[in-house]
Structure 1
């Protein structure tokens, strides 16, 4: 049985077992969230030995060269000596600039990093509390224009990070972990093509950034944004979106509720085969969007989706 060493801890685990499961069973306090290689909360660095990595493409090559691996995507095949990602040592310090409620459930969190962070609209970051709770969140801010990093946190249900976020105040510290590319972005080559942006809940956050990036780059094609919320109170950016649509005539904003979803999807009609679609939200909503877009005639390679995966328990 392979031997695992993490700091002073040493124990054995079955060959072929999932590395994250083995570490948790051995008493290692390793955070995790999605178990799908997306959130990057379970980063570990290999100091000696190498696990079998089932998803090497999930990490940036430079990270891999430094020995970092995602424990949830690795299997034990040999002895390993590891160190767990330590946000105090490995994370980028940031301070809370402001916290404000955009709706009863959505908290707008604005952070200022200790040093400038290069990112693109649509990317996401892992946020770490001082107590070591980690959770990935999409950026809603626009790089080069907003002086802060903005996140829209769904605090409607209990969760380790959302519970901590409710208590945050200006001046409090957080740490920033891995910056991820995600599937959502704006390509200047799309300038003349119609864009459909379909978001559910706080899946609107990255698409709000992508929308503003498209407008900043003087997008010439039509832009149709659809936001799905459980009820009307969930349209937390309604005023901001209306203001953008008032200034940019090519932008059409549709706010729909869960009860209105079937009718709204049935009415989707494709005007141009050049249309590109960007989708974001919980898997069930994104799947509903994607199926309807396929039926409407948008080729699969013109649909980009980013899923908000539920917290693994």
Structure 2
């Protein structure tokens, strides 16, 4: 059987063992959320030997060259020595500068130790102690001097439970910035734009909405937010006008609101974000409405595994 080594610990594992499972069964408590290669919470660095990687495209080429792998996607087939991602040395410090509660939604604002380059709609891995979760950025690069996140704390969870105790001045660590499916393209300047969000799926679309306006978007922009708590209602309404229309929908009125979506142009681009069930409902209605599949971009918030 191949031997797995972390620091001074060394033990045998059955050939073909999933690396994440092998590490956690040994009590090393490697965090994870999705087990699908999306959240990047289970990063490890291969120091000697290489596992079989089922999803090499999930990491950037420079990361892979440095030996980083996603443990959830790797099988141990030969002797392997790895180092676990350590947010204290591998993460970037970021201080809490703002905490605002809107019901169960926390608007968290951080200031990183150094300026960062990112695009509206991207997401980043947040480390709070030993707990890691990916969250979409709601801030607008080049305009906001902070990183903003919208965290739904309605249900108990390792990250949310700790987030409830955060205070201004506390420190988190930032992991990898990643480009999700949501973004704004200059090619869309003259096209109708639909931004459809459920719950805190509004976070990346809030940044993208402001990016579109900053770029001088000429087409109509329709924003729909389906939620129990319309936590950005005032800010959204402040942008509403001749070009931007805002529809705030109660969760129980979701289907009726979807039925009201009418396509005025086949050039419409739709950006969708939220929990899997909500995104599926949006996508189904967009298909019925006639929005071409290639003009629908969706980001799904996956629940922790």
TM bucket (normalised to shorter chain) is over 0.9
Q: Counterparts of 1:228 and 1:12 in 2: how far apart (Å)?
A: 50
**Which structure 2 segments of 5+ residues have no match?**
none
CA RMSD in angstroms comes to 1.0
Partner of 2:290: 297
1:185: Cα distance to partner? 0.5
Partner of 1:132: 130
1:199: Cα distance to partner? 0.5
Residue-pair matches, total: 305
SS of 1:171's equivalent in the other structure is: coil
Matches within 5 A, 1:46-195: 46-101=46-101, 103-129=102-128, 131-195=129-193
Q: Counterparts of 1:8 and 1:300 in 2: how far apart (Å)?
A: 52
Q: Counterparts of 2:221 and 2:65 in 1: how far apart (Å)?
A: 40
User: Hey, which bits of structure 1, 4+ residues long, moved more than 3 A?
Assistant: none
1:19: Cα distance to partner? 1.2
Q: Deviations over 1:26-59 (max 9, x none)?
A: 2222111111111111000010111111111111
1:152: Cα distance to partner? 0.7
Q: 2:239 aligns with which of 240, 244, 251?
A: 244
| Stretch moving more, 141-150 or 46-55 | 46-55
Partner of 1:216: 214
SS of 2:240's equivalent in the other structure is: helix
Q: Counterparts of 2:67 and 2:281 in 1: how far apart (Å)?
A: 39
1:300: Cα distance to partner? 1.2
Partner of 2:31: 31
Partner of 1:272: 265
**Which structure 1 segments of 5+ residues have no match?**
none
Q: Counterparts of 1:32 and 1:128 in 2: how far apart (Å)?
A: 11
Q: Counterparts of 1:267 and 1:14 in 2: how far apart (Å)?
A: 56
Q: 1:262 aligns with which of 255, 278, 294?
A: 255
